[in-house]
Copies of this chain bind each other. A is one copy, B any other.
Amino acid sequence: MRTFEEYLALTEQHLTDPMPAIGAYAETLEESMKYSLLSGGKRIRPVMLLAAAEMAGGTAEEALPYASAIEFIHTYSLIHDDLPAMDDDALRRGRPTNHMVYGAGMATLAGDGLLSAAFEIMLGDMLAHQQDPEALRRRVRAADAIARGAGVRGMVAGQTADLTSESERPSAPLLTFIHENKTAAMIIGAIRAGLFLGDAEEALQNDMERYAYDLGMAFQVADDILDVVGDEKTLGKSVGQDAQNDKLTWVSMYGMEASRSRLHELTEDAVSALEKWGSSGDFFRILVRKLEKRTK
């Protein structure tokens, strides 16, 4: 297995390789998709997908189309989330948001294009392996894991709960639902997809399901802490996050001390899920420990 930086370099190098060719009269579509794709994301989901594939015994190279796909999906979610009709954000990562540059109509289409392209990429890769039933099966499972994380039982449901929560009474189950779906679902999807591609044995699959849930939830709790503490730079922000004071967050619901102790609990449980995997669990052990450290 490689380091975070090595998986990151691989992701960056190949991110737009599988982008389908777009016709001459729709050049703005490609331009607007790439504007947001190449605006300095942390690439945490594709990196985790590649690492999970290698942890399971596969190769990162084989998993690259799926790494691109999950980053395409993450990017679409940010573009739509920033729209005037949603969070109405003018800046993301210090640059004007997609709709500030291309207009809200084009930004809507750029998001639609990225989501569509993610599935075009994965299905194209499946087609290329259709004569190898075992390779095809692994790919179908991976694409399904990504689709579940991104879809109406995952991220889109979380976005909806987040959007409608503004008119609802804050509650612990609602907050958990939002974090599980808006943030954790795509992280779980990335790790599950990588494991499927690497053909992970069932015991590894099960332990990593637990790890991925813990990491996904820890990710959001850490982000909520950092929103208050003020160091946003170190995390790849997930959809819908802003530092609005009236926003329902782990910290606003439970307070800072309880949030830190929840983060610690999640981190320890994530690490213990990796227990029996020795040094092959190092990548993910380091990842979750670093996450907690950044909030100190």
Residues of A within 8 A of B (CB): 20-26, 28-30, 33, 76, 80, 83-86, 99, 103-109, 111-113, 115-117, 119-120, 123-124, 126-127, 130, 133, 136-137, 140-141, 143-144, 147-148, 150-153, 156-161, 163-165, 173-174, 177-178, 181
Contact (Cβ within 8 A) B178 A25: yes
Task: Say which residue of B26, B33, B104 sits within 8 Å of A85 (CB atoms).
Answer: B104
Contacts of A159 in B (CB 8 A): 109, 112
A-B contact pairs, 8 of them (CB 8 A): A76-B112, A83-B108, A85-B105, A113-B151, A116-B156, A119-B143, A120-B151, A120-B152
CA distance A246 to B205 in the complex (A): 57
Task: Say which residue of B23, B130, B148, B156 sits within 8 Å of A140 (CB atoms).
Answer: B130
Chain B residue nearest to A115 in the complex (CB): B115
Contact (Cβ within 8 A) B150 A116: yes
Contact (Cβ within 8 A) A108 B80: yes
CA distance A161 to B27 in the complex (A): 8
A109 and B160 contact, Cβ closer than 8 Å, known pairs A123-B144, A140-B140: yes
Q: Which of A24, A80, A107, A126 has the most CB of B within 10 A?
A: A126
Contacts of A148 in B (CB 8 A): 120
Q: Which of A113, A158, A174 has the most CB of B within 10 A?
A: A113
Chain B residue nearest to A111 in the complex (CB): B112
Contacts of A111 in B (CB 8 A): 112
Which applies to chain A's interface (DSSP): helix, strand, loop or mixed? helix
Within the oligomer, what is the number of copies of this chain? Answer: 2
CA distance A249 to B285 in the complex (A): 59
Contact (Cβ within 8 A) B106 A153: no
Chain B residue nearest to A176 in the complex (CB): B25
A20 and B105 contact, Cβ closer than 8 Å, known pairs A26-B160, A137-B130, A160-B28: no
Contacts of A20 in B (CB 8 A): 151-153
A112 and B109 contact, Cβ closer than 8 Å, known pairs A23-B153, A153-B120: no
A152 and B113 contact, Cβ closer than 8 Å, known pairs A85-B103, A133-B133, A136-B133: yes
Known interface pairs A23-B177, A29-B152, A117-B152; 13 further A-B residue pairs with C-beta atoms within 8 A, sorted by A's residue number: A22-B152, A25-B173, A25-B177, A85-B104, A106-B164, A109-B159, A109-B163, A112-B115, A115-B115, A119-B147, A119-B151, A120-B147, A133-B136
Q: Which of A26, A104, A107, A137 has the most CB of B within 10 A?
A: A26
Task: Say which residue of B85, B103, B147 sits within 8 Å of A108 (CB atoms).
Answer: B85
Q: Nearest Cβ in chain B — how far from A2, in angstroms? A: 29
Chain B residue nearest to A148 in the complex (CB): B120
CA distance A92 to B73 in the complex (A): 29
Chain B residue nearest to A137 in the complex (CB): B130
Q: Nearest Cβ in chain B — how far from A128, in angstroms? A: 10
